[in-house]
């Protein structure tokens, strides 16, 4: 069996190809030049007679003169006499890279700025509030400090780790240990001496940082945080919190500024490093700076004790922005839940306060963590009246009323953040939660009335009066609640049909106060409500009641500022001076 080959449809033939001739035919003619082809040219027109023929067949003649004409004058001026390629090579950034850099550069939006400004208007600055705390919460008791970074005081013996196993086991846990033989305890310090020693610790921290002693600066911050565990002089604790957190704020700023200095980046196409802008993003941060930032958080995570570990991490919380821009909310909630491990309710509430304060600096849109901090305090409210707390108060000879007022600065700041631009339904939610968990706590009611918009409180004035009247008077004085309610009604008017009942219900309680100081502190607030909304007859009755309370034992001699405030408000808000000066109370 044979197979036949298929016939080809075309026949192939060989052809001789002259490569040199073909190459020469396709090439342009070469000519040697002495000038750069992109060099600015000058064309000289030589005088001559030029003959032009028009469409009609006639001829015209013109005479030209010798005139140099720069044909590329504008290009040469723009490129400073160089050709375009050389000009762009000399630039720091080529045009495409510049466009990419402009698109990459983050620009803060006006919306964020306006939101920050709005919150700043609503929330009282911490600097204003902390000065009031330092002035109010003072003590004549003796204070003490344990530290290894100040001279003076008595040496304290610290047991050293002896076995090799213990040393290896605790290698990462020794950051917050005191160095053996260097610990000193300074006792019997007055308040001024204590504040001076705290300032010395602050200076030691800054000096250590400036000398590149980062670990020493961190240890000082840790030892300062440990002082917030001590409540041996409990009435001074709010002021101690202000002093210590000032140092922690400085430490946090030093860490942040250092990381930002190390985080210089290169704009696409640029050859020189540039400092990060204010609103940088983590993808702009070089890996070396991120690694340094992680090391700071790793060191802090190795601190054994909960309170210093929490405070130092909260102090550098802003440095999270070098690593991520989307996990601040998770970090804030994680720290909130860690605070639940603090056993002392006073120490815990001020840790909540500090977390809310630093949290407001790193996130403006999210307020959920602040509400979580407040609800954590509500859940642990009954601890304030536990047998262990009462025993400690008896040991320090501090009454329950004084103890509860120590919570007001922290609670006021926390709830201020919750109530900032909050809707009215949030007030209803919080009131319901407090009624369920705390049985109308006087401390919480006072904080709620001081934090939320006065218009919200005025619209529910009768409800608040009912809740205040049902409060247990143990601890937080009831007259302070009525005073706070009166301050709200001085800023916002309640419904007209409720005003008479409001005044009668409040004054039925206030008029029974036996302490002249408590009485007049309420009277100086509520007199404005009476003058603005009622006739001279009600004002006459009000003033007569004040005279009746201030006359016995010449009590008025101790309350001239409050009585002067009463007179000022009457004269400011009255509309009928004739009726005012003919009142019966003046002749009584």
Phi, psi of 62, deg, nearest 5 = -140, 155
Q: How confident is the model at residue 455 (pLDDT cuts 50, 70, 90)?
A: very high
Q: Which of 8-12, 56-60, 291-295, 422-426 is least confident?
A: 56-60
Q: Which of 125-129, 387-391, 443-447, 451-455 is least confident?
A: 125-129
Q: How confident is the model at residue 177 (pLDDT cuts 50, 70, 90)?
A: low
d(CA 106, CA 60): 66
CA max distance for the chain: 149
Question: Each residue of 226-258: pLDDT tens digit?
Answer: 999 999 999 999 999 999 999 999 999 999 999
Q: Which of 2-16, 18-32, 35-49, 356-370 is least confident?
A: 35-49
Q: What is the arithmetic mean of pLDDT over 61-87?
A: 52
pLDDT above 90 (res 353): yes
Task: Provide CB contacts within 8 A for 288, sequence distance 6+.
Answer: 262
78, burial (CB in 10 Å: exposed 0-12, middle 13-18, buried 19+): exposed
Q: What is the arithmetic mean of pLDDT over 29-46?
A: 61
Q: Which of 67-81, 269-283, 405-419 is least confident?
A: 67-81
Region of 259 please: left (phi>0), alpha (psi -120 to 50) or beta.
Answer: alpha
Rounded to 10 deg, the angle between the 560-573 and 536-550 helix axes is: 170
* 3-state DSSP assignment of residue 63: strand
pLDDT above 60 (res 386): yes
d(CA 417, CA 360): 8
d(CA 271, CA 286): 15
Region of 439 please: left (phi>0), alpha (psi -120 to 50) or beta.
Answer: left
Number of H helices and E strands in the chain, helices first, is 28, 7
Question: Each residue of 397-419: pLDDT tens digit?
Answer: 999 999 999 999 999 999 999 99
What is the Rg, in whole angstroms, of the alpha carbon atoms belonging to the chain? 40
């Amino acid at each position: 069996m044979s197979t036949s080959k298929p016939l080809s449809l075309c026949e192939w033939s060989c052809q001789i190809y002259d490569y040199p001739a073909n190459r020469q035919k396709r090439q342009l003619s070469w000519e040697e030049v002495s000038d750069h082809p992109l060099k600015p040219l000058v064309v000289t027109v030589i005088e001559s007679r030029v003959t032009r023929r028009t469409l009609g067949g006639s001829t015209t003649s013109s005479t030209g003169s010798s005139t140099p004409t720069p044909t590329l004058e504008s290009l040469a001026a723009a490129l400073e006499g160089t050709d375009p390629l050389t000009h762009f090579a000399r630039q720091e950034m080529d045009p495409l890279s510049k466009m990419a850099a402009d698109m990459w550069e983050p620009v803060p939006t006006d919306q964020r700025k306006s939101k920050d400004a709005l919150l700043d208007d609503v929330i009282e600055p911490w600097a204003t509030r902390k000065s009031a705390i330092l002035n109010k919460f003072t003590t004549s008791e003796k204070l003490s400090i344990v530290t290894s970074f100040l001279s003076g005081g008595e040496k304290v013996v610290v047991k050293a780790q002896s076995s090799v196993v213990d040393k290896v086991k605790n290698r990462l846990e020794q950051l917050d240990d005191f160095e053996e033989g260097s610990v000193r305890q300074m006792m019997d310090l007055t308040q001024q001496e204590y504040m001076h020693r705290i300032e010395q610790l602050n200076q030691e921290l800054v000096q250590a940082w400036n000398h590149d002693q980062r670990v020493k600066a961190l240890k000082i911050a840790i030892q300062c945080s440990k002082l917030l565990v001590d409540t041996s002089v409990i009435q001074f604790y709010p002021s101690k919190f202000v002093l210590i957190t000032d140092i922690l704020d400085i430490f946090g700023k030093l860490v942040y500024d250092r990381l930002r200095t190390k985080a210089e980046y290169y704009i696409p196409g640029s050859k020189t490093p540039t400092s990060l802008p204010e609103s940088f993003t983590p993808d702009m941060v070089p890996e070396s700076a991120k690694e340094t930032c992680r090391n700071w958080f790793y060191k802090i995570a190795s601190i054994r004790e909960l309170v210093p570990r929490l405070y130092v991490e909260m102090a550098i919380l802003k440095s999270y922005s070098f690593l991520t821009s989307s996990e601040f909310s998770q970090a804030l909630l994680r720290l909130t839940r860690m605070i639940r491990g603090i056993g002392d309710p006073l120490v815990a509430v001020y840790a909540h306060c500090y977390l809310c304060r630093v949290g407001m600096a790193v996130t403006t849109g999210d307020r959920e963590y602040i509400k979580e901090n407040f609800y954590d305090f509500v859940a642990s409210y009954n601890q304030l009246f536990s047998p262990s707390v009462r025993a400690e108060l008896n040991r320090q000879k501090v009454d329950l009323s004084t103890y509860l007022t120590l919570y007001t600065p922290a609670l006021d700041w926390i709830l201020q953040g919750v109530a900032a631009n909050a809707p009215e339904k949030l007030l209803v939610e919080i009131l319901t939660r407090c009624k369920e968990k705390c049985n109308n706590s006087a401390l919480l009611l006072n904080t709620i009335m001081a934090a939320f918009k006065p218009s919200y409180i005025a619209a529910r004035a009768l409800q608040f009066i009912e809740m205040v009247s049902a409060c247990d008077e143990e601890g937080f004085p009831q007259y302070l609640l009525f005073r706070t309610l009166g301050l709200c009604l001085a800023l916002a008017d309640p419904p007209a049909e409720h005003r008479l009942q409001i005044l009668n219900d409040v004054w039925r309680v206030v008029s029974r106060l036996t302490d002249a100081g408590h009485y007049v502190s309420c009277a100086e607030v509520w007199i404005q409500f009476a003058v603005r909304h009622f006739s001279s007859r009600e004002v006459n009755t009000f003033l007569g009641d004040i005279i009746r309370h201030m006359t016995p034992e010449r009590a008025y001699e101790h309350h001239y500022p409050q009585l002067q405030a009463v007179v000022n408000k009457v004269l400011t808000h009255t509309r009928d001076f004739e009726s005012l000066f003919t009142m019966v109370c003046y002749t009584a």
